[in-house]
Structures are given as structure tokens and as C-alpha cells.
Structure 1
Amino acid sequence: MTQQEFPPPILLVEDNPVDLDLTMRAFSRKRLGNPIEVARDGEEALGYLDRWEAGEPLPAVILLDIKLPRVDGLQVLERLKAHERFAKIPVVMLTSSDDNSDLCRAYDLGVNSYIVKPVDFGKFMAVAEQIELYWCVLNRTPR
């Protein structure tokens, strides 16, 4: 099997250990085929731009929190969408922020979807299943 035949990774950008664990458990229970790569702050997420430039596979989708240390998620989104090659990577804000100004700013910067994290684990599992189904199975992006 060549490297291109492997499912592309999902980049999860999350600093909260509880939310990170919840997300990983939800994907694990759904037996997600895509490998999960984790960045724990915005600066670490921006480091992926260099890695992708060096030839690492682009993610199928980026799940991005807004409230991150060092560089916030909206700044990460802005940098991604300003990059000619990486602007087409789907970005889903997966955040606890229900603030309308965050929502509007994210869409102004080119986010593909904005999901407020459910507090209930069962509902979160349903969200994870929908993310997997839509962004990793059904959605097609240019390569």
C-alpha cells in the first residue's frame, strides 16, 4: 500500500485535556480510520505548515478550537486560509464558544463549519460520528 492509499490524518487542535480526551474517545469508539494528529496550542498548529511544506500528508480536515494558548484559533485559521496551498483544507471550529462575534469572525476568515461542543458525552459522540462521516468519507477536496 502506498502512502497515498492511507487515509489522510485529521489534525485536532485542542488545549483542554478533558476535551482532548473526550474527542479521542469519541473517535476511538467510532473506529475512525483516519489517524489523529494533535496540536495542543496555536503555535504548535502553525508548525504543521512547515511540516506540510516538507511533504507530510495534508489533513482531511482540521478540527480547531478558538480559545488556545500562545496563538488563538482565529489567528491560526487566518494564517491557514491566507496560504495558497493550505487554504483548501477544510477547517471545522470545534469550540465551546457560542459567542456570535467568534462565529462571525470565523466565517469571515473562511471557516468551513462551526460546531459548539456539546457537554453531554452522548451528544458529543453523535457530533464525532457526523464529523467523520461528512469530512472524512463524503466530502471531497482538491489534492
Structure 2
Amino acid sequence: MTDRRNGDPIDILLVEDNPGDVRLTQEAFRQASLANDLDVVRDGEAALDYLYQRGEYEDAPVPSLILLDLNLPKVGGMDVLETIKAEPELRRIPVVVLTGSDAEEDVVESYENYVNAYLTKPIEPDEFVDLVRSFENFWFQLVELPPTAGQ
């Protein structure tokens, strides 16, 4: 994925604890021929460290987009979302919930916490690739993303 305004790769943060879902997401991005910088963290605590550039993530880029699972160890995805949207330095980063839950209460709570989109992961790998292609077309061809810090 590249920024259509200047051709630069898009920095995407994937917050996902399931190794199979991480591999599937990476493969879907590869199959969809998306050129991007996809960083992965495995729990909510690491996501917050990444976003605040703490510890091992002190040189992490500010992501242009966050893909967030809700079911995470240490700090839950909803808590991560609430923190992002409460922080003036972080709230303009679009957050897309990409989760296995289609529970109405999760959808409602996510939007109440200002998520930009809520996507339920398909079970079938081919459907997942199709979802990523649709996602790529919308978020990186049609939507104007805000500049990240330092741009």
C-alpha cells in the first residue's frame, strides 16, 4: 500500500495475538499486492508501547492506520481503542477493528469509542483476501488519510 498523494509506503500497525491470523493477514496483503510497512504487536500493552514509542519501540514510526483485534492479552483491544481516541496526539490515526467477534455489543461499543470501521474476519482464507482487497481500495485509494507526525 502506498500513499496515493506521494507514493510513500503506508505504515500500518497490526495488533493481533493469534499467530495464524497474523500470517493470514500478512499473506492477504501479499496476495493483494499491497506495498506497505506492516508492523505487528501481539498484545494491547505492546500496542500502547509502540504508539507511545516506549521501550523497544522508541524508534517506531507513527502508523497511518491501525488494525486492531479486540480479544488481546494484557490490555484488551477496547481499552487500546479508548486510549488512542482519548489522546490528542493519537486520535487522528484511523483505527479499524479487525476481529472475529460480530457481537452487537462489541460493534456498538467500538463505534461509541470512535472506531473508524469495524470488520469481522471471515473464516475462509479466500474471503479474507477479498476483504483485504476491499479494505485496500477504500482506505488507500479513496480515503484521504491525515499526515502522520513528522510529515
TM-score, normalized by length of structure 1?
Answer: 0.90
- The equivalent residue for 2:21 is 19
* 1:32-111 alignment, distance < 5 Å: 32-51=34-53, 56-111=60-115
Change in 2 beyond 3 A, CA 1:56/1:19? closer
8 Å Cα contact 2:71-2:77 kept in structure 1: yes
Q: What SS does the corresponding residue of 2:36 show, helix, strand or coil?
A: coil
Aligned-pair identity (%): 43
Q: What SS does the corresponding residue of 2:52 show, helix, strand or coil?
A: helix
Give 1:55 deviation, angstroms.
Answer: 7.0
Q: What SS does the corresponding residue of 1:51 show, helix, strand or coil?
A: coil
Gaps of 5+ in 1: none
> Deviation per CA, 1:82-140, whole angstroms, max 9, x where unpaired?
01021011100000011111111100000000001000111100111112222233211
- The equivalent residue for 2:33 is 31
Give 1:32 deviation, angstroms.
Answer: 1.1
Paired with 1:70 and 1:106, the residues of 2 have a C-alpha distance of 19
Paired with 1:130 and 1:60, the residues of 2 have a C-alpha distance of 18
Moved over 4 A (4+): none
Give 1:56 deviation, angstroms.
Answer: 4.5
8 Å Cα contact 2:51-2:62 kept in structure 1: no
What is the aligned length? 140
> Deviation per CA, 1:34-91, whole angstroms, max 9, x where unpaired?
1100010000100122229x67432221100000000010000000000102101110
Larger relative helix fraction: 1
RMSD (Å) for aligned C-alpha atoms: 2.0
TM-score, normalized by length of structure 2?
Answer: 0.85
Q: What SS does the corresponding residue of 2:10 show, helix, strand or coil?
A: coil
8 Å Cα contact 1:8-1:57 kept in structure 2: no
8 Å Cα contact 1:60-1:135 kept in structure 2: no
Gaps of 5+ in 2: 1-5
Change in 2 beyond 3 A, CA 1:63/1:13? same
